[in-house]
Amino acid sequence: MKWAAHLAVTIDLLEPDGRDGASWLGGGVAAAVVGHLRSQAAQVAECPTNFILVDDPSTGETTCIYFLMLKSSWDVANSTCGMFGAILAKLKGDFHQSVIEKIYENQELINEAFWLGGSDEKKEGSWYWLDGEEIPLGTPHWYPCNDQPNHGTDQNYLALYTPNFYFHSLEKEAEICAICQRSP
C-alpha cells in the first residue's frame, strides 16, 4: 500500500492539470519510479531466515536474534550460531529487557533457558561478553535471590534462565537452548 500511495502521489505531481496519466507514466518515468522505490527498500534492515529484527537500545541500532531451540553445551551452541553468521547474544543494558519481552510473546520460549555470549572463564568473577566488553555484576541483570553468579570456577558461562530470565552462571556442559545474534 505504501508503494501504491507513493506512485499515486508521483502521478499527481506529473500531471497537475489532469492529463491522461497513462501516456505520462511511460517507460522512462516508470523506470525512475521503480528505481527510486527499490533504493528505498534496500535501506530497510532485514534479517536472515529464522532471525527476528529487534531494536537494541544499548546501541540505538537494530539487530537480529535467533532463538536456537536445539539444546546443547555452550561451545556447541556458539558454533551453531556461527553457522548462521552469528555469535551467542550480547544482552547489554536495556537490550536484556527487549529480549525478555520477545520471549514472553512466544509460549514455546517461556519455559526454557538460553545460552548467552558471556563468560568468566579467563578470570573467575570477572564476566565479559564475547567482544571483550565487561558485563556488570548485580542488578538489574543478575538473579539476586541466590547470589548469581555463583559456584565459582564450576560455573563460568552465562545463561538467561527460566522463569525470570535474569543472568545465571552455568557449567558449559549444560545442555540448554541459546540465543544467536548477528547484524542485519
- Nearest distance, CB of residue 120 and Ca ion, angstroms: 4
Closer to Ca ion by CB, 62 or 73: give it.
73
What sections of 26-182 are H helices per DSSP?
27-42, 74-83, 95-104
Q: Would you report the helix, strand and coil content of the chain in percent, each value rounded to 5?
A: 30, 25, 45
Judged by CB under 5 A, the number of residues near Ca ion is 2
Are 119 and 135 in contact, with CB atoms under 8 Å apart?
no
Closer to Ca ion by CB, 17 or 154: give it.
154
Closer to Ca ion by CB, 33 or 137: give it.
137
Are 111 and 163 in contact, with CB atoms under 8 Å apart?
yes
Question: Cell numbers of 144, please?
Answer: 539476586
- Nearest distance, CB of residue 171 and Ca ion, angstroms: 9
87-126 binders of Ca ion (CB under 5 A): 120
Give the interface segment with Ca ion, choosing from 53-61, 73-81, 140-148, 156-164 (CB under 5 A): 156-164
161, β-bridge pairs: 166
Closer to Ca ion by CB, 84 or 128: give it.
128
Binding region for Ca ion (CB under 5 A): 120, 156
